Amino acid sequence: MYTLAAFLTRTPETLRQLGGELPVVRLPQECLMVPFVRAVRDLVQDRAEAHPDLDDLTAGWAALAERASAAGAIAFCQADFFGGTGGQSSIVWRDGAVVLGPVHTFLGDGDNPPASAWPINAALAELGVVAGGLDAFDTVRLGGRRRTERWLEHAEPSRPNGSA
């Protein structure tokens, strides 16, 4: 099983614009990840209202990410796989507007889309990640933990007026 729900950016100021003290994981290529665990979801009061296109994202957090993107591009990525079947979704905001997505790809019944077609790779490319010999997902090592909650073991706090 593999699950991921996270905000990703390469701009520390974008995280500061999200506000609050958030868990931040530093990834290769200056990527910063906020694992979107229950404690993070609960920081925004309208958490019960789901985003219409992304199961793990709330409308309140989507609006907050859209505003924060004035400081730099930010993506929300989610993935859920079990036994070789599952899917990925992503959305990217920049300058206060959606610039990618929401996009979705599902794998199952023999489907095998190319790596470039996967939403998380597209989102990372939009953030400026250079994949090199691997796809962007592997370049920033998003496969390093099988569950979103496990990323908290590598997180440090982000403070609104401090550093990421």
Residue 43 forms part of a structural domain? yes
Residue 164 forms part of a structural domain? no
Residue 139 forms part of a structural domain? yes
Q: Which domain holds residue 109?
A: 2-158
Residue 118 forms part of a structural domain? yes
Sheet holding 31-35, edge to edge: 97-107, 85-94, 74-82, 2-9, 31-35, 22-27, 156-158
Looking at the predicted structure, is the pLDDT value of residue 26 above 60?
Answer: yes
The tens digit of pLDDT for each residue in 47-100 reads: 557 777 788 898 889 999 999 999 999 999 999 998 878 899 999 999 999 999
Residue 111 forms part of a structural domain? yes
Residue 163 forms part of a structural domain? no
The tens digit of pLDDT for each residue in 92-125 reads: 999 999 999 899 988 876 667 777 779 999 999 9
Q: How many domains does the chain have?
A: 1
> What is the pLDDT, as a whole number, of residue 159?
59
